[in-house]
Structure 1
């Protein structure tokens, strides 16, 4: 297992703006075999119903711990709220409906890309799938939903904090009218 450096490049209170920025960044990536991963804390029956409509076979466990309920045990998630969602390897088209279903609950949606292509005019070489990720945190400033907030943050993943890696972060931030804030979180891949 390896880690990446998830660099915050745009924070906004406008979820529509965040989704638009994600779409722009995805248009810069190779996504032919991409997939999406979800992590969330779901607190209300209403949000749970909306999320289950998007992902009927949702993988989750009770926030207290798995002994208090989980999808693996066949428990009813409505009886175990709040729950933590850890659902991986979904088709890309599930991302936006999942985000729309969240309401005020915090989440992280990570797009696992095939690559960040080379950008010769910016002096950037291609980055392989191993480090080609993009994460949108919704109603949270961090990747792990530990800092709930009223805004949403886009993180671009880099292999490390070397100048060539940070150059791509700056370039991608520029593509969406953001800027690299200097905030980086360690993200297990």
Structure 2
């Protein structure tokens, strides 16, 4: 497992604004073979039902521990609430329905991109898939849902060949009307 630096570029209380910004960043990125990953804690039976409509074969385990229940064991997630969701490698078109299903629950949705392209006019080289990610935290300001909030934060992950982890971040923030505040988290990939 490797790590990347995830820089916050936009925080907003308006989820539709956050989704518009994610869409704008996805237009910039190379997403040909992209996929999306989900992490969340689900506490509500209603939210669980909505999420399972989107991801019927949801990967999860009981928040207390895997011994108390998991998808791996074929347990009923509704009987094990709250549950932690760690669902990886889904098609890109599952992201927005998953976000809509969350209601007030906190989550992180990460798009695994093929690359951030070169931007010659900004002096930016292309960045390969190894460090090309985009994460939207919903109802949370951090990647791991430790800071629940009523707003949503977009994080971009980028590192160039020279190891500079933030050279591209201000440029990406400008593309969506955000700004890089210097807040960076380590993201497990």
Segments of structure 1 that go 5 or more residues without pairing to the other structure are none
Segments of structure 2 that go 5 or more residues without pairing to the other structure are none
Give distance in 2, aligned partners of 1:5 and 1:167.
Answer: 12
Deviation of 1:167 (Å):
2.4
Q: Which residue of 2 aligns with 1:77?
A: 77
Q: Which residue of 2 aligns with 1:176?
A: 176
CA contact (8 A) 1:3 1:159 kept: no
Give distance in 2, aligned partners of 1:21 and 1:158.
Answer: 17
Q: Which residue of 1 aligns with 2:56?
A: 56
CA contact (8 A) 2:5 2:165 kept: no
Q: Which residue of 1 aligns with 2:98?
A: 98
TM-score, normalised to structure 2, is: 0.97
Deviation of 1:188 (Å):
1.3
Give distance in 1, aligned partners of 2:64 and 2:15.
Answer: 29
SS of equivalent to 2:137: strand
Deviation of 1:164 (Å):
4.7
SS of equivalent to 1:33: coil
CA RMSD of aligned residues (A): 1.2
The number of residue pairs the alignment matches comes to: 188
Q: Which residue of 2 aligns with 1:107?
A: 107
SS of equivalent to 1:134: strand
Alignment of 1:1-189 (within 5 A): 1-159=1-159, 164-189=164-189
**Runs of 4+ with deviation above 4 angstroms:** none
TM-score, normalised to structure 1, is: 0.97
Give distance in 1, aligned partners of 2:166 and 2:45.
Answer: 41
